[in-house]
């Protein structure tokens, strides 16, 4: 009996050993089944930063739509041709697959980790709240591109035909999520450390990011739900960014270079020049940021290419060399943006701790310093009667809208949103000469493959927003 027992133990041991060796043989240790949540989060941050920065006309044409740049030879995109390239489909692909999907997987991975002790639990919670802040940022961007979008069903892998949610309802839910995230973050503990590509794990800065994002979303609601916009901004602004604070992705260079460097230097192509739309007004105002935005044409003057027309590269100013540098950082959200929103809020009689002129001046000054200007530049520029808040021409919408648009240079979405919400810069963004309907786009069209692969939900969404047209205004665009 004892022999039989010993034989069974040996056989069981052999079985366990063989099973383990077989599993080891069939496991590729260089390709782990589960990617750590921190890496997924970092990957999503980089994907978001790259898409914000890139001028690739297959991926992001907002630097053109906002008329910061124009094309030199192939002018279709500057004339709002969205159909000949997969631009719209790529917005969905990048934001839903490359960014949101990674963020959601990161949350699931981190939530599944065993957290033992108060500190470990606090760090785990901080990570999840921070990921949600970035998700909110991405969803707002998608709404601002299209209007109604897949939201509540967007990341359900078992539903390949997600429904579209009402854009205003999404906005309100995003504000609720931000409130929970900011309240939940505990800046007495850490988060992602160096895996965090924006703030290197600084939880206090993520709380400020969340409050700043609340102001950004709420200001878009001011003409739709003034009460909600007012209460949100008044509650959030004091905890938002302070002067000089910024959320940005800094590129290390090499294989991880800024996409502007990749598309404009490494490619050897000369596809873009600054548009006359922005160059002309900056010349009129003798704006001190011109030297940081553009090169001179022939070392004599700043000359922008006529927007939407053929513009020989050699005849016009070029994008400043620093902006095309491989390590040039890309801004995601900053105090400059916040200051202009608070100037607008003050004009709407919200209690935000300062006047419209106060925040207008801070927005301009913050931008000039960010780009490399001096205090003397700020003083001289604000003394210009065409810039000074008390004497500049037009309504507050014209004053704030024009200067915010100038400050948001190369940040196409922020420039486009400012124009859509306030109907300014001063020249009202003249439409491209060869556009189909003679209008600057008010939104992007839904991807063509949504019409074929998700037809029922597509047509319902198109009807709900008033038609899948570039001329259809978003729910918050009331002017």
pLDDT tens per residue across span 137-148 = 999 999 999 999
Angle between helices 412-422 and 203-220 (to 10 degrees): 30
**Token output for 412:** 């196409």
**Is the torsion defined by CA of 102, 108, 112, 115 positive or negative?**
positive
What confidence tens digit (pLDDT) does each residue in 360-407 have? Answer: 999 999 999 999 999 999 999 999 999 999 999 999 999 999 999 999
d(CA 192, CA 197): 9
Closest by alpha carbon to 410, among 69, 57, 131, 44?
69
pLDDT at 436: 67
Q: Is the pTM of this model over 0.95?
A: no
Q: 13: which 2 tokens?
A: 């041991």
| Whole-number pLDDT of residue 479 | 80
241 Cβ contact list (under 8 Å, min separation 6): 208, 209, 211, 212, 333, 334, 335, 338
Give CA–CA dist 6/23, Å, rounded: 26
* pLDDT greater than 60 at residue 32: no
Give me the phi and psi of 341, to 5 degrees please. Answer: -65, -40
Nearest to 72 by CA among 307, 346, 248: 307
pLDDT of residue 34: 67
pLDDT tens-place string over residues 69-97: 999 999 999 999 887 888 999 999 999 99
Residue 281 has pLDDT above 90, yes or no: yes
Query: pLDDT tier at 175 (50, 70, 90 boundaries)?
Result: very high
Buried b (16+ CB within 10 A) or exposed e, 319-343: bbeebbbbebebbbbbbbbbbbbbb
d(CA 305, CA 313): 9
Identify the structural domains of the chain with CATH numbers, from first to last: 37-257+326-465 (1.25.40.390)
């Amino acid at each position: 009996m004892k022999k039989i027992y010993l034989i069974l133990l040996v056989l069981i041991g052999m079985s366990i050993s063989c099973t383990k060796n077989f599993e080891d043989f069939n496991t590729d240790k260089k390709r782990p089944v589960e990617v750590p949540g921190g890496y997924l989060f970092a990957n999503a941050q980089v994907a978001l930063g790259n898409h914000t920065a890139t001028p690739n006309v297959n991926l992001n044409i907002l630097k053109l739509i906002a008329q910061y740049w124009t094309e030199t030879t192939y002018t279709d995109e500057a004339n709002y041709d969205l159909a000949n390239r997969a631009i719209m489909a790529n917005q969905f692909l990048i934001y839903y697959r490359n960014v949101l999907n990674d963020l959601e997987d990161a949350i699931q991975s981190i939530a599944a980790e065993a957290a033992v002790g108060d500190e470990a639990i606090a760090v785990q919670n901080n990570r999840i709240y921070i990921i949600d802040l970035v998700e909110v940022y991405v969803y707002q961007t998608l709404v601002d591109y299209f209007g109604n979008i897949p939201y509540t069903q967007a990341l359900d892998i078992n539903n390949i035909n997600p429904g579209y949610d009402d854009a205003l309802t999404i906005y309100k839910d995003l504000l609720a999520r931000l409130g929970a995230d900011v309240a939940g973050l505990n800046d007495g503990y850490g988060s992602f450390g160096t895996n965090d590509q924006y703030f290197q794990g600084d939880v206090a800065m993520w709380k400020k990011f969340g409050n700043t994002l609340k102001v950004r979303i709420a200001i878009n609601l001011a003409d739709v739900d003034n009460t909600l916009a007012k209460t949100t901004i008044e509650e959030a602004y004091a905890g938002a960014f302070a002067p000089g604070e910024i959320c940005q992705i800094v590129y290390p260079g090499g294989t991880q270079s800024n996409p502007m460097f990749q598309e404009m230097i490494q490619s050897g192509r000369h596809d873009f020049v600054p548009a006359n739309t922005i160059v002309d007004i900056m010349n009129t105002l003798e704006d001190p940021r011109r030297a940081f935005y553009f090169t001179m044409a022939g070392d004599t003057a700043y000359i922008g290419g006529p927007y939407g027309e053929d513009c020989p590269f050699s005849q016009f100013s070029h994008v400043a060399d620093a902006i095309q540098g491989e390590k040039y950082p890309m801004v995601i959200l900053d105090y400059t943006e916040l200051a202009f929103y608070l100037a607008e809020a003050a004009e709407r009689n919200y209690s935000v701790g300062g006047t419209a002129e106060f925040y207008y001046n801070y927005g301009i000054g913050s931008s000039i310093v960010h780009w490399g200007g001096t205090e003397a530049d700020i003083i001289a520029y604000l003394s210009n009667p065409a810039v000074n808040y008390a004497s500049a021409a037009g309504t507050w919408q014209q004053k704030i809208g024009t200067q915010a648009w100038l400050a948001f240079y190369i940040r196409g979405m922020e420039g486009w949103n400012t124009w859509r919400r306030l109907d300014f810069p001063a020249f009202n963004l003249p439409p491209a000469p060869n556009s189909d309907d003679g209008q600057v786009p008010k939104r992007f069209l839904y991807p063509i493959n949504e019409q074929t692969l998700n037809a029922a939900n597509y047509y319902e969404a198109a009807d709900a927003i008033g038609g899948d047209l570039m001329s259809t205004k978003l729910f918050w665009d009331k002017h």
